[in-house]
Structure 1
Amino acid sequence: MKKVLLTLLSIILLNTSYAQNAKSYYDDGMKQAYAGKLEEAIILLNKSLDLDKSDFVVWYNRGIMKSFLYNYEGAIKDYEESLILNSNNKQAYLSRGTAKKNLTDYLGAIADYDLALKIDSNYAEAYYNRGLVNEMLDKTDLASADYRKALIKGAKDAQRKVDDIGKPKPSNYFSILTLNKTAEDKKYGYSEKDPIKVGNGPSGGPGNQRAYLNLLRDAQGKPVTYNRVGSCCAYKSKYGLMGTALLDKYEITFRNDKNVEEKVIVFISMYDYEDLKIINGFKTIAK
């Protein structure tokens, strides 16, 4: 009997050790995340999950980190694992919806925001984000109702949307939902003389820049990562400050047709809009 008890005790201690190691990896991973070292953080959370897959928070936070790295497909899988463990995690529905939006699954995004609101009818962020998608889809009445709900529930940022929704849009306003053709000019986007002009949209000019870049896929069919590295190249624009606008420079990291990592610089204007094209060397989301 004593031997059995000792064996059981050793198993309990072993399991406790595993759990403690899993927590240590998670804590260290979160420290790396807060320091902005997301790839290092994910490695540590991987180790945590290797030891203990039962904590929905670890799955959720790894999904958030993947989203910040534009790995939306991977993030969605983590959010789904989190929801299996805790189906009342409204943040996971919200985050999964946003990841789906970035993958152009707009109806899927709305469905996830609906699920978040089913859990918490006072969830201001869900109303606001659902409003953004409805506005992108030109469903103005629905978007207006969502923004008003978000404002009532405490989202102060929604006031501007409530004020602006339904007003006539300027010629540089455009919702970027898909990309359909590749540029014939190989310098398109790679030269400051022929920049990508994304204009303004439901999430503002920077939101349109992200929307365009999120639609790009490399030769492997994988999402690219990108980072704004500065601005340059003043030019005349009626939408710029005092008639002058700047281009934003983005560094895109991707894998070429030989699966070798490369980096390129592209030039994007968020002030003016022109018919968008896929820059040479890239694809877009397969339909």
Structure 2
Amino acid sequence: MKIYGGLLAVLAALLNGTVGFFSVNLFQTGLSSEAVAFYKCLIAFMTLGVWAAMTGQLGTLGRYVRQLWLRIAVCAFFGFFVLYYFETAAYQHINVAVVVFCLFGASTIATFLLNAALGRRWVNKHELVAMLLSLGGLYLVFVETQQLSGQESTGLLLAVVAGLGYASFLVLTQKLGLGGGLIPVAALLLFGVIYLSIPLALSGWAVPSSDSLFDLLMLAILPTIGGFWCTTKSLTLIESQSVQLIELTEPIFALIIGFVFLGQLVTGPQMLGGGLIMVAIVIHEFAILDRLDRLWARSKRSYS
């Protein structure tokens, strides 16, 4: 079950890695960040609504929302409004790569700390080493942009808030027992659409053109439905900090997608950064430090 949960988190990272590719196309059509965030969620919710109607799941969805509406509203606030709104707002102030770096860095640290705080314990050595290695890996992945310093503080703050929102979503979704599957995703999207309609209305409604429909549909199906389904399902199988750590492979997949479809070269530091992220995952998930301690203790006994 743990392996299956890890594979789902990897698949979520792969699907989420397509966000940048399709978002760039949509921004070029003239859609604002608020419009992109809202319409991809709206299309995703409508798609799942059609699925629920065709499979006779509308009643199940309605009962699920009535029973857990407060928990769903809280998790959707952090996972859709805080994440999507503040992330897209940050793009207006700083480079996309810096946004992703700050978002993932804040989310990784916050996820581990929130789990430790709610469990009334200290961060253990595996978590500490994994955090340090993953942050170092993220830095190497994005340092090639040469824009990790001297940026506007507003953009950095917005990206950090988005990361804190995603960390809260991961931890609370698991702690509140929302479960996994398309029904929870549809319910979360319902509240997400409501939340995201507010900033779009304040900035001015915009109707997407026919040229943007394909990219919006891909964003709705791949990262929004597929990514969140994999994430919520993996949260029923493994710990939220494990999900967050494994999903740090998203920048690696984004680099691969950029290389294959956009012809963007992957540099040596970026490959080293990806390697550090993989090492962090292995150390945390397989308790490598405990294994090394046992081997060291065994070797000391054999020589004594």
Query: For the superposition of Structure 1 and Structure 2, which TM-score range results when normalised by the shorter chain?
Result: under 0.3
Larger radius of gyration: 1
Q: Which has the higher helix share?
A: 2
Give me the TM-score of the superposition, normalised by structure 2: 0.21
Quick one: higher RCO (CA 8 Å, sep 6+), 1 or 2? 2
Q: Which has the higher strand share?
A: 1
